[in-house]
Amino acid sequence: MKKLSSISLLGGPAALLTLTNAATFQEYKLLPSLQIAGELISLHKNYPNLATLSTAQEAFNLPYAGTDQDCTFDNTAPGCPNFFLTIHDIIAHPIGSPSEKSLPEVFLSGALHGNERVGPTAVLETAKLLLSAAQCESLPHFITPPDDPNTEEGAEWLLQTQRGEACRQQLYKLGITDAQRKWLARLVSTRRIVVVPMTNALGYDRNQREEGDVDPNRDFPFDVSDPMACMQTIAGRTVNELFQRHLFQMSLTFHAGTEVVGYEWGAFPYLPTNLSPDDAAQVEISSGYSRFAGGFDGTKSYETGTMNELVYAVKGGMEDWAYAGSWDTGKVLQCEPTQYGGYDMQKTVYNESTLRAFNMLIETSNSKIPGNHLGTNQDILNDNTYTNNGHVARNIRLALMAIELVEPYVSIWGVNTVPLKADVVPLIPRTDRLCIQSKAMRIPPGQKATTIAWSVGGGFTVDYTTIMYAKWEDVPDVMDGSYQPRNSEVGRGFRTIEAMSGPTRWKQGWQSDTSTASGWESQGQPMYYATIDTSEFKPGDKIAVFATARLDQGWANQPDGFKPKDMPPMSHVVNARTNLDWRHESAGKIIQGRKDWYSIPLTLVIADSEDDDIVIDLSDRFTMPGMDGSTTPQKTDDGKATNEDSRMPSTLSLIVIVVMVLVSVGLIYIVGTWIRNRRPGRERLNGIDDDDVFVHEFTFNEGVQLRELG
Ligand SMILES: [Zn+2]
């Protein structure tokens, strides 16, 4: 049995290399297996509370595929280990806690076919980007700054604050804005993401499609008739073991040979209708993937559709197995392979919960090993930056969107145009109403118009969104700042406002949608606003404000002719947001259906005196409260003046803070100027008719490639 510690020696040099280059401009390259293994090991080392690396051999006692001639990235036993990285914020969601069990889960498979080589790099780079942003956003690891800088705690806070500023600047250099960094941090800290870059580790290491002589994407027990003809590969068993231990709702399986985002059905019994009971959601999600991934020089955005139509039907494919294995049970059988000493038949017995994922097939590129146009890490999250896009870059975005869409969320942005500095802060506990400290704003007493701004994510259509508020003492105990309550638990203490509807930023054409009452702002996404009267609250009162939203109810609609007929939507993703009765528990994980999703509450603290006439963010972790009562105007991220106690008793500390503020304000100005200067160029490019740009350069090499797809 090989241990990670013994493998890690190999990863050393590569790991060092990537760490020093973590935040510098680079063109993506398709990484060899040695480098992928090395980088995974360094992620495990560098983000101990966010990422855990293991192998299928270590965790599931699976054999190694290959011989003593194999494995350039591992030489401690014959054959190759199958690495998987689990991204999970274990401080915010400790193992065994209620929130940990309810984390929505996402699975990313880099390559079932070892010679289709964009996926492994794309999913590894996705993990790197997520983790670096989340780690950065977590600094400083304080819910609020310590009162006194001249203490050990104060010194630690100062150090972490400086590190936080430094890594933010590194991310700015790559074009990642404050809002984008916070978004990435949210994805890390509100989901569990299992990343398997080299699913077919042996095939990837040998640059061969199969694992040995078996095709892993015909090796799953869905629509196969011979029990000896499934779970023959370690790649297939690795995926199987992971699905048995999780409740994945979203999954991507990367391949290459054409350029397609494909969804169910991809199986012979469902020819020629091809449509699944979850078609409405799959259509919208796949087209969202295609838009956010985008196109580039000579390459169009991904075509989307069913695998039956766009690729072809297969027997034993991973895609339909992961979607339907728990409910289309007539097509599932127990495997009895003979390879590697056999495989316990019980491992292919599935409960009703395990296999209900949206597991989309991403055919990344016509070339299985594209030599150029891989894209760069500059402006990676700006989907319309034409020049920097490429095969790896666009699939990083696509993977991020899968992680985004696994679950709806609502996020309060700020009050009366003053933004909250933080959204979801990783590596900080979230229960026990710690949010009263970590998300709080002070507002003047007697204020009749307190305008709350919020946004909605994790879906496309906001069917219903509103604000509800009450004094904290009237909020039911169960609402601890982390828990998503059921409607019956919310009680009667809340006041609310008229509900609104509208799009999220993922909805096609939201920029031109003016159908709702809410205004649009330049936050890069639709913002919702509501004005409440807080004049009746007394100084010192603490008001809990929740934003709540209902999303994508249209996903429960079904098209004509879907099969199997008379089935309601069967996926977790659709039911988790449309069906109150949906509840699944498996392997210690829980999916509870709900319609209404609640933000982390914002606490409004009514100021003691009418002299405190400005809204301020009390939860700004970067600003230390003053020793006396005086206040000093301070610039926020967006250059808006707020009032914040920022007096520092130590001269040295004061100098450091002033320098940091000047540097960050200057940097924001530079980045802002640069973004403003860039925008016309992007718009001009986007304004060109697609056909004008692409028609001469786009080629689709059908004959050769299609034979080996899927
Ligand atoms: Zn393939």
217 Cα: distance to centroid of ligand 1 (angstroms) = 7
**Per-residue pLDDT band at 706 (split at 50, 70, 90):** very low
Cα–ligand 1 centroid distance for 708 (angstroms): 7
Cβ(519)–Cβ(426) below 8 Å: no
Burial class (CB in 10 A: 0-12, 13-18, 19+), 372: exposed
Q: What is the mean pLDDT of residues 426-450?
A: 94
pLDDT, tens digit (0-9, with 9 covering 90-100), for 684-697? 222 222 222 222 22
Lowest mean pLDDT among 82-96, 130-144, 237-251, 479-493: 479-493
- Residue 233 to residue 199: CA distance in whole angstroms: 11
- Cα of 315 to ligand 1 centre, how many Å? 14
Distance, CA 249 to ligand 1 centroid (Å)? 22
Alpha-carbon distance of 31 to 29, in angstroms, equals 6
Distance 305 CA to ligand 1 centre (A): 17
Question: Quick one: pLDDT band at residue 609, thresholds 50, 70, 90?
Answer: confident
How remote is the CA of residue 120 from the centroid of ligand 1, in Å?
A: 12
- Residues 566-577 pLDDT 10s: 999 999 999 999
Between residues 364 and 488, which one has the greater pLDDT?
364
Average pLDDT value for residue range 245-271: 98
Percent share of the chain, pLDDT over 70 = 83
Q: How many helices (H) and strands (E) does the chain have?
A: 18, 24
pLDDT of residue 512: 76
- State whether the Cα torsion 480-482-483-488 is positive or negative: positive
Query: pLDDT tens for residues 69-116?
Result: 999 999 989 999 999 999 999 999 999 999 999 999 999 999 999 999
pLDDT at 661: 52
- Tell me the CA–centroid distance for residue 564 and ligand 1, in Å: 27
Supply the pLDDT for residue 644. 33
Mean pLDDT confidence for 29-44:
98
Quickly name the fold that domain 409-559+598-620 has.
Answer: Immunoglobulin-like (2.60.40)
Q: What is the mean pLDDT of the chain?
A: 86
The whole-number average pLDDT for the span 567-591 is: 98
What are the distances in angstroms from CA 465 to CA 344, 499, 504? 49, 5, 11
pLDDT of 24 reads 75
In the reported structure, the alpha carbon of residue 361 is separated from the centroid of ligand 1 by a whole-number distance in angstroms of: 9
Q: What is the pLDDT of residue 317?
A: 98
Find out whether 467 and 547 touch, Cβ atoms under 8 Å: yes
**Residue 704 clears pLDDT 70, i.e. is over it:** no
Question: If pLDDT is split at 50, 70 and 90, which confidence band does 624 have?
Answer: confident
Q: Do domains 4-145+168-406 and 409-559+598-620 have the same CATH topology?
A: no
CA 710 to centroid of ligand 1, rounded, Å = 4
Check residue 389 and give its pLDDT. Answer: 95
Q: Which residues line ion ligand 1, judged by CB < 5 Å?
A: 113, 116, 255
Residue 566: the pLDDT is 93
Closest CA to 16 of 39, 34, 33: 39
Q: What is the largest CA-CA distance in the chain?
A: 79
Taking 80 as the threshold, does the pLDDT of residue 564 lie above it? yes
Question: Ligand 1 mean position to 596 CA, how many Å?
Answer: 39
* Domain residue ranges in the chain: 4-145+168-406, 409-559+598-620
Confidence at residue 648, expressed as pLDDT on a 0 to 100 scale: 35
Please give the pLDDT value at position 225: 96
pLDDT at residue 637, rounded to an integer: 41
Q: Are 624 and 661 in contact (CB under 8 A)?
A: no
Residue-wise pLDDT for 348-381, tens only, equals 999 999 999 999 999 999 999 999 999 999 999 9
Lowest mean pLDDT among 15-19, 161-165, 619-623: 15-19
Quick one: pLDDT at residue 666? Answer: 53
Q: Which of 599, 638, 643 is nearest to 469 (CA)?
A: 599
Q: What is the pLDDT of residue 571?
A: 98
Report residue 626's pLDDT band, with 50, 70 and 90 as the boundaries.
low
Q: What is the average pLDDT across 445-460?
A: 96
H-helix segments, 472-569: none
Return the pLDDT at 298.
85
CA of 256 to the centre of ligand 1 (A): 6
Q: At residue 479, does pLDDT exceed 70?
A: yes
The second-level CATH assignment, the architecture, of 4-145+168-406 is: 3-Layer(aba) Sandwich (3.40)
Region of poorest pLDDT, from 78-92, 386-400, 527-541, 695-709: 695-709
Tell me the CA–centroid distance for residue 684 and ligand 1, in Å. Answer: 36
Span from the CA of 521 to the centroid of ligand 1 (angstroms): 42
